Every structure is written in structure tokens, then in C-alpha cells.
Amino acid sequence: MEFHWKIKLFAGLQERLAAPQLMLALPEEQLTVRELKERLASVHPEHAAILSISFVARNHTYAADEAIVRAEDELALLPPVSGGEDTVQDSLQSGDKELYIVTADALHSDDVLRKVITKDHGASIVFVGTTREWTQGQQTVRLEYEAYEPMAVAMMRQIGDEIAARWPGALCAISHRTGIVELAEISVVIAVSAPHRESCYEASRYAIERLKQVVPIWKKEIWADGSEWKGHQQGPWNPTVPLPE
């Protein structure tokens, strides 16, 4: 008896393997993540290096190498993260306002900031990420963002929960673009409010760094003479490791 495994691909992996997903027929109904990646590498040996440093997501959650995955799970293989017309919105809300959004629509910082301002907080801060033209002597024409949208929203929610635990009372909202983002346009807005400014500054910095670490969104830099997917820029990528206190 064979079991049919389906693994979604994103960003550079999708381009390298020229497919949105991989299908495997295996005799095993369950494997460890490490074993699954070994099976994939045996079928695609020319891509073994990138497969080995990618992470498996199981049902929208990162799975460590020794975790058990099953053929029936929703599985995705995620290359290191960077940091459609449809909008994915989380059900966790502040009043009637969605806190965590992935969208192809233009972003406006004031809209995101309004979601976290409350009468109980004396400080609020907003981080806005935009497309810059020059990076290390390379001229960028535009950026393209791709997201594993359900998991991206789930990871944003996790960041909000972590912030609330580390800085009691702090509130966070995150909106991120997908698709083409032109020069000087906004790609991400992170708004944080807190009772006091010290915790507000700290929570904002944490949200930015954590987003780059765990949220499955990839950035493709488009140049006049080529393009490249940009992944995690902070050494070996391990989204299961928390940021230091």
C-alpha cells in the first residue's frame, strides 16, 4: 500500500523545482521531518542543499527535524524567510479591527496604528518598511513578496501573544503586503502600543526581528539585469528558537 504525500513549495523552492508542490508516493504513512527531507533529497539530489536548510511546516506550524508528520497533514517546505488579490485576515480582533493581515492592497500606517491605540496606553509606535532603491551598490527596480498566507497570519498572531506575555498590556498589529511593491511603497507596517514608552520601544523592536525570523514571507529583489529571492539574513535560520530576553 502506498500513501500519497503532498508538500507545498514557495518562493525560490517553487522556482528551482518548477512546481507549486511536490507529490510523493511512499510506503510509510508517517515519517520524521528529517526522513521526509531525506526522501525529497533522494528524488531531487540537485536541490539537496536548499532542501536541507529549509523548514517543514505541518498544519501551519513549524516542525523540528525529529517531529512526526503524516501523509494526511497539510505540509509545506519553506526556504529561509525574508523579512493574490485576496486578503487573509485573522479572526483575532481589537474591537472590530483585524490585527494581523496579509494583503495585496496598499498599506497605510495610520490605519494600522489606530488598531492599537487605547485609552489605557500612554505610548504607541509604528514601524514602516518600504522598498529602497540601492542595497550594497545594487539598484532595485521593485520587490515582489510571496507568503504562505494562513501560516503567516498564524505566526503574526504568535508574535502578538509573545509580546503580550513579555510586556503585559502591550498590543500589536501587523500588516504585510504581497505581490509587487514599487520603490518607496510600503511593504510592512508594525504598530505597538503599551502603557509606558520603554516597553513600547522594546516590544516594537522585538516584533520586527521576530517577524523576519518566523513569518513565512519571501522577498524577491528585481533588478534591471536580473532578480534574486532574499531569505533570512541573520546566519543559520531556525524559526523554532525564541529570541533572547
pLDDT at 82: 62
What CATH number has the domain bearing residue 25?
A: 3.10.20.30
pLDDT at 52: 87
Task: Flag whether 55 is in a domain.
Answer: yes
DSSP state string for 177-239: E-EEEETT-EEEEEEEEESSHHHHHHHHHHHHHHHHHHS-EEEEEEETTEEEEE---SSS--T
pLDDT (tens digit, 9 = 90+) per residue, 29-44?
Answer: 999 999 999 999 999 9
Q: How far apart are CA 121 and CA 172, in angstroms?
A: 12
pLDDT (tens digit, 9 = 90+) per residue, 169-194?
Answer: 999 999 999 999 999 999 999 999 99
Whole-number Cα distances in Å, 93 to 73, 80, 174, 197, 245: 28, 29, 12, 23, 27
Q: Are residues 17 and 56 in the same domain?
A: yes
Task: Flag whether 243 is in a domain.
Answer: no
Segment 223-233 shows an average pLDDT of 79
Q: How far apart are CA 201 and CA 197, in angstroms?
A: 6
- Checking if the pLDDT of 155 tops 90, the result is yes
Residue 19 in grid coordinates: 512546481
Task: Flag whether 24 is in a domain.
Answer: yes
Q: Are residues 23 and 119 in the same domain?
A: no
Task: Flag whether 18 is in a domain.
Answer: yes
Q: Are residues 131 and 20 in the same domain?
A: no
Q: Are residues 168 and 214 in the same domain?
A: yes
Across all residues in the chain, what is the average pLDDT?
89
Task: Flag whether 237 is in a domain.
Answer: no
pLDDT at 97: 62
Q: Are residues 58 and 96 in the same domain?
A: no
Q: Are residues 26 and 54 in the same domain?
A: yes
Q: How far apart are CA 37 and CA 31, in angstroms?
A: 10
Q: Are residues 70 and 96 in the same domain?
A: no
Segment 219-229 shows an average pLDDT of 91
pLDDT band at 201 (very low <50, low <70, confident <90, very high): very high
Considering only CA atoms, give the Rg of the chain. 19
Q: Are residues 62 and 131 in the same domain?
A: no
Q: How far apart are CA 82 and CA 233, in angstroms?
A: 7
Q: Are residues 220 and 135 in the same domain?
A: yes
Q: Do the beta carbons of residue 158 and residue 172 sit within 8 Å?
A: no
Please state which of the ranges 9-18, 97-106, 225-234 shows the lowest mean pLDDT. Answer: 225-234
Task: Flag whether 235 is in a domain.
Answer: no
Q: Are residues 29 and 48 in the same domain?
A: yes
Task: Flag whether 236 is in a domain.
Answer: no
Which of 44, 78, 112 is a domain's end point? 78
pLDDT at 188: 98
pLDDT at 49: 87
Residue 167 in grid coordinates: 510586556
Q: Are residues 47 and 103 in the same domain?
A: no
- Checking if the pLDDT of 210 tops 70, the result is yes
Q: Are residues 93 and 181 in the same domain?
A: yes
- Checking if the pLDDT of 231 tops 70, the result is no
Q: How many domains does the chain have?
A: 2
- Checking if the pLDDT of 91 tops 50, the result is no
Q: Count the Cβ atoms, other than its own, within 10 Å of residue 66.
A: 9
pLDDT at 93: 46
Segment 190-212 shows an average pLDDT of 96
Residue 109 in grid coordinates: 500606517
pLDDT at 121: 96
Report percent pLDDT > 70 for the chain: 90
Question: What residue numbers bound the domain in which 115 lies?
Answer: 88-230
The residues, any chain, with a CB within 8 Å of residue 18's CB and separated by 6 or more, are none
Predicted TM-score (pTM) above 0.85: no
Q: How far apart are CA 11 and CA 138, in angstroms?
A: 21
Task: Flag whether 121 is in a domain.
Answer: yes
Which of 78, 104, 128 is a domain's end point? 78
Q: How far apart are CA 9 and CA 153, in angstroms?
A: 18
Which of 60, 78, 96 is a domain's end point? 78
What CATH number has the domain bearing residue 158?
A: 3.90.1170.40
Whole-number Cα distances in Å, 103 to 83, 129, 241: 15, 15, 27
